[in-house]
């Protein structure tokens, strides 16, 4: 990764931490393990921890467990040689080399790529369900464990009813129980496993439900709106909209998300469930325009030849009242800025 890109990430982390780092003081001189630590979320939390160590002398010992540590070391080489970071190559379902002195554990292992969910639903479910069982069994043997944060999904409550502004943690909906919804259904069951482990083994586990994110480290190969728009624009193509552009989503920037996860991990009570995302919705047509603004010449925005009108799942936004009121969390990086930072970062990487 280019030095200027590293510098930009560090800057983003510092921006979020400025005046807020004391809220994470309990992490000082402790051991944090992130399982599934080399994806978008894991990479950003690792960057945030590195910033806490380098700039605020937190002395956190970080272990990143993943099947793809080799690619991580190539993608983020500045982590490969840090003495405070340990990369452990392992499948979440067979955690043979787990650091038994862990104080904090974040379980983020899952593949969020919808193409994998569609083509390999059983493997998708196995990583989530068998993986969570494996993490919980391992957690039973951790003598120093203070908290385990499970990263579930904002999709576990199914689609958002038209009558509400955002999906709250207590929403009673559920995904349809068929193969197309294997990911949220598996995540939903994994939440139940966490609850069972808390009840049976007193494991101090709580749940974060991520919604949509944006930022560096998000692969532009993934077929999500924000990534395909950026990918189109970076390739010099028109930005293509799949539907009528009226679908509404919200996006939280990577450094914001990393801080949210660390704050929830350290301040949360076992058994709590917290939405992680931005409550500020944007129609995809407007998102495309925001992306286009960051490129010169500005790409055209194209619609499909035969677009269909917005369906019933037109909006999916988190209700973040709980995160705001009980954790003091909010959106630190406005979406316009988040898009700009992401576009600039990818452009720097490509140049």
Q: 144 or 235: whose CB is closer to another protein?
A: 235
What minimum distance in Å lies between the beta carbon of 304 and another protein?
Answer: 4
List, in order, residues 6 or more apart from 114 with CB less than 8 Å away: 183, 222, 223, 224
- β-bridge mates for residue 253, sequence order: 214
Whose Cβ is closer to another protein: residue 313's or residue 321's? Answer: 313
CB under 8 A: which stretch of 50-58, 146-154, 209-217, 228-236 binds another protein?
Answer: 228-236
Distance CA 73, CA 66 (A): 11
Which CB sits closer to another protein, 179 or 199? 179
What CA–CA distance (Å, rounded) separates 50 from 64?
Answer: 12
Q: Minimal distance in Å, beta carbon 308 to another protein?
A: 4
Query: Footprint of another protein on residues 149-168 (CB under 8 A)?
Result: none
Contact 34, 65 (CB under 8 A): yes
Residue 350 binds another protein (CB under 8 A): no
Q: Choose between 204 and 243: whose C-beta lies nearer to another protein.
A: 243
- Tell me: does residue 219 bind another protein (CB under 8 A): no
204 binds another protein (CB under 8 A): no
Packing angle of the helix pair 3-17, 254-267 (nearest 10 deg): 50
Are the CB atoms for 210 and 216 separated by under 8 Å?
no
The rounded distance, in Å, linking the Cα atoms of 177 and 264 is 30
Q: Which residues of 288-301 are buried (b: 16+ CB within 10 A; e: fewer)?
A: bbbbbebbeeebeb
Shortest approach of another protein to residue 221 CB, angstroms?
A: 7
3-state SS class at 9: helix
Minimal distance, residue 157 CB to another protein, in Å? 18
Q: Is 119 in the site for another protein (CB under 8 A)?
A: yes
d(CA 19, CA 23): 9
- Shortest distance, position 341 Cβ to another protein, whole Å: 23
CB-based contact 316:154 (threshold 8 Å): yes
- Options 178-186, 195-203, 271-279, 320-328: segment touching another protein (CB under 8 A): 178-186
- Determine which residue in the list 137, 237, 336, 350 makes contact with another protein, applying CB under 8 A: 237
Q: Please report which helix (H) or strand (E) contains residue 273, including its range.
A: strand 273-276
250 binds another protein (CB under 8 A): no
Residues of this chain that bind another protein (CB under 8 A): 114-115, 117-119, 178-180, 221, 223, 228, 231-232, 235, 237-238, 240, 242-243, 247, 302, 304-308, 311, 313
């Amino acid at each position: 990764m280019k030095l200027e890109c590293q510098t930009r990430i560090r800057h983003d982390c510092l921006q979020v931490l400025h005046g807020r780092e004391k809220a994470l003081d309990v992490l000082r001189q402790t051991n944090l393990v992130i399982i599934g630590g080399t994806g978008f979320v894991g990479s950003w939390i690792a960057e945030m921890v590195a910033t806490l160590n380098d700039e605020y002398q937190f002395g956190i010992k970080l272990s990143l467990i993943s099947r793809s540590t080799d690619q991580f070391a190539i993608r983020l080489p500045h982590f490969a040689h840090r003495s405070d970071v340990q990369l452990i190559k392992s499948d979440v379902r067979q955690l043979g080399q787990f650091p038994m002195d862990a104080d904090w554990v974040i379980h983020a292992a899952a593949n969020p790529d919808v193409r994998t969910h569609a083509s390999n639903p059983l493997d998708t479910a196995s990583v989530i369900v068998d993986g969570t069982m494996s993490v919980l069994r391992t957690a039973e043997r951790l003598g120093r464990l203070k908290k385990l944060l499970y990263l579930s999904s904002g999709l576990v409550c199914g689609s958002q009813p038209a009558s509400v502004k955002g999906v709250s943690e207590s929403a009673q909906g559920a995904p349809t129980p068929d193969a197309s919804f294997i990911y949220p259904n598996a995540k939903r069951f994994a939440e139940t496993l966490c609850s069972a482990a808390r009840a049976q083994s007193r494991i101090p586990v709580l749940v974060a439900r991520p919604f949509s994110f944006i930022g560096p480290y998000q692969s532009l190969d993934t077929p999500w709106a924000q990534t395909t728009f950026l990918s189109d624009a970076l390739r010099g193509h028109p930005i293509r909209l799949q539907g009528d552009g009226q679908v509404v989503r919200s996006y939280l920037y990577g450094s914001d998300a990393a801080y949210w996860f660390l704050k929830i991990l350290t301040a949360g009570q076992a058994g709590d469930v917290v939405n992680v995302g931005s409550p500020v919705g944007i129609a995809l047509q407007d998102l495309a325009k925001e992306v286009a603004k960051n490129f010169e010449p500005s790409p055209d925005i194209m619609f499909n030849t035969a677009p269909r009108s917005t369906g019933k799942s037109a909006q999916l936004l988190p209700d973040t009242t709980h995160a705001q009121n009980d954790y003091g969390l909010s959106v630190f990086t406005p979406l316009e800025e988040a898009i700009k930072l992401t576009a600039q970062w990818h452009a720097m990487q490509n140049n």
